Amino acid sequence: MAMALPSSLFSFAARVIGLRQTNGTRWLHGAKGTLFSVRGAGETALQSDQQLSNFEDEDLSTPDIEVDDTLEHKDFFGVRKLCTPSLLFQHKVHFGHKATSLDPRMRQFVYGIRSNHVIFDLDISNFHLQEALNIAAHVALRDGIILFVARLPHCANLIEQTAKDCGEYAHVRQWKMGCLTDISKYQKMECRLPDLVILPSTVSEFGSEHPVVAEAAKLNIPTIGIVDSNCNPNMITYPVPGNDDTLTTIQLYCSLFKEAILRGKAERANRLKLLEEELSKDQETRLSKLKSMSLKLNK
């Protein structure tokens, strides 16, 4: 499993390539481009270089560069429309474990108890799931590495296929301690750590919290986790209260995160395409201006 050097969720904003048509952006003036200089002999050459230098400063500076501000939008990718409380109810997200196993830190997400089983408030679950989908799309837009982690044998193939469809990574086998915090022990080369970890279930095969939660927290890697009534949500960056062990609910989570990630990547691909077109046009304009200026100076 290839991974990367640690990076903060918002540290790679400079990697995002925005275009002039993008909504919600601010403008900054770019630096001067690198151009050829025309050299002659004696004083004429010095004057030509000076004139070309002034020409570059005035006319051939690079176009304005955008700094991406899509994080300021409440729903830039439209992922909040993907899930509703009724959809979560149909997929049995509201079912928790028995009331006797309720973690006190999960009481804020509980609607009530029926037949000695915890029932989640789906309005709260829906809000947190929308937030998680939104942040997953933003990470995909910024070309971040997303790692799906779970220890659910009955859903292992589903989670792996979801990661494959998204062009991301998955780890559904037994977790070896230090896979993130001591990665040099398992990888002989320099590699990248994930920018986001998604856990369809935060429970390991032993019934305790999955080790990746603590390792990601130590490295400041944001996590999205489905937390059931017997889980601790405090170590998860974006906790989503809900059922975490039923096949229908896992299918719902996988389909929603897959759609959010693909939307983020589609937006990135569109921006790259438009940027290439714009850069090619600017390059042609600069070369034509430089050639005309060179001919004038040589006369």
What pLDDT, in 10s, does the model give residues 95-143? 999 999 999 999 999 999 999 999 999 999 999 999 999 999 999 999 9
Kindly report, residue by residue over 270-286, the tens digit of the pLDDT.
Answer: 999 888 888 888 887 88
In a domain, 8, yes or no: no
Q: What is the pTM of this model?
A: 0.73
Task: Pick the closest to residue 172 from 133, 145, 212, 143 (CA basis).
Answer: 212
Per-residue pLDDT, averaged over 243-253, amounts to: 94
Question: Under a CB-based contact definition with an 8 Å cutoff, are residues 62 and 282 in contact?
Answer: yes
In a domain, 86, yes or no: yes
CA angle centred on 281, ends 279 and 285, rounded to 5°: 115
Please name the amino acid found at residue 44: T
% helix, strand, coil for the chain, step of 5: 45, 15, 40
In a domain, 4, yes or no: no
User: What is the span of the domain harbouring residue 83?
Assistant: 78-266
In a domain, 196, yes or no: yes
Tokens 């900054």 correspond to 28
In a domain, 26, yes or no: no
In this prediction, residue 246 carries a pLDDT of 92
Task: Out of 16-20, 106-110, 211-215, 279-283, pick the least confident.
Answer: 16-20
Per-residue pLDDT, averaged over 183-196, amounts to: 87
In a domain, 161, yes or no: yes
HEC per residue, 177-214? CCCCCCHHHCCCCCCECCCEEEECCCECCCCCECHHHH
In a domain, 25, yes or no: no
In a domain, 49, yes or no: no
Number of domains in the chain: 1
CATH number, domain with residue 130: 3.40.50.10490
